[in-house]
Amino acid sequence: MHLGKVIGTLTPCVVYTGLEGVPLLLIQPLNPQQAPAGSPFVAADTTRMCGRGELIYYESSREAALALEPWFVPVDHAIIGIVDNVKLTDYPVERSDD
Amino acid sequence: MQLGKIRGAIHSTINHSFYNGRKLLIVDYLDYKSKPTGEYVIAVDTVGTGAGETVLVIDEGNSARQIVDRANAPVRAVIVGVVDQISTRD
């Protein structure tokens, strides 16, 4: 799982069976310091409570589909939860030299 | 499995039911020289680790589901061990 931020919502007019009523949100992936890291993508919202600008954590690949009910649906990213707070321990992080 | 270092934790009350009461830790991946590779993952803690410890992380769904013993759990990254020592012969 990784951190992300909800930056938009999506309303499909036609959707695959099993995905009716599942909210689709636009997510900007973040690094632990909550800076953007990677390009935005669309994720299914399993909590059904996410709003714009919220800090979330998401899962990808088969585990994303498993988070939904019914789970045998074609989904590759799913929001697993809304983050209340992130506690980072700051220790010197030297980057690897390769 | 991969080497990682616990960088912090996240707390969440609104989440998928599987994650209720589970500890979610932010793990920085390390290379075999214990240097951060820049990648990170949020993993479920199953061995009771704390900040700054070097750990072993599995990032594969099938193994993760066997470890948490739940057939259809939406989990992939799991912390499975604490590393005491790494010795390599260069």
For chain B, the structural domain boundaries read: 2-82
Specify burial of residue A23 (Cβ count, 10 A radius: 0-12, 13-18, 19+): middle
Contact A32 B38 (CB under 8 A): no
Is the pLDDT at B15 greater than 60, yes or no?
yes
Report chain B residues whose CB lies below 8 A from the CB of A85. 10-11
Q: Which pLDDT does position B51 carry in this prediction?
A: 85
Q: Which pLDDT does position B30 carry in this prediction?
A: 95
Interfacial B residues in 35-74 facing A (CB < 8 Å): 35-38, 40-43, 51-52, 61, 64, 72-74
- Token pair, residue B87, equals 């010795």
The ipTM (two decimal places) reads: 0.90
Report chain B residues whose CB lies below 8 A from the CB of A49. 14
pTM of the predicted structure, to 2 decimals: 0.90
Digit-coded pLDDT (tens) for B18-74: 999 999 999 999 998 999 999 999 999 999 998 889 999 999 999 999 999 999 999
Low-confidence stretches of chain A (pLDDT beneath 70): 91-98
Q: Where are the domains of chain A?
A: 9-18+29-53
Q: Which pLDDT does position A71 carry in this prediction?
A: 87
Q: Which pLDDT does position B89 carry in this prediction?
A: 83
Q: Does domain B2-82 have CATH number 3.40.50.720?
A: no
- Token pair, residue B17, equals 């039911």
Interfacial B residues in 4-33 facing A (CB < 8 Å): 6-16, 18-19, 24, 26, 28, 31, 33
Q: Which pLDDT does position A57 carry in this prediction?
A: 97
Q: Which pLDDT does position A94 carry in this prediction?
A: 53
Q: What pairs with residue B79 in β-bridges? A: B45, B57
Q: Which pLDDT does position A93 carry in this prediction?
A: 52
Q: Which pLDDT does position A70 carry in this prediction?
A: 87
**Using H for helix, E for strand and C for coil, what is the string for chain A?**
CEEEEEEEEECCCCCCCCCCCCCEEEEEEECCCCCECCCCEEEEECCCCCCCCCEEEEEECHHHHHCCCCCCCCCCEEEEEECCEEEECCCCCCCCCC
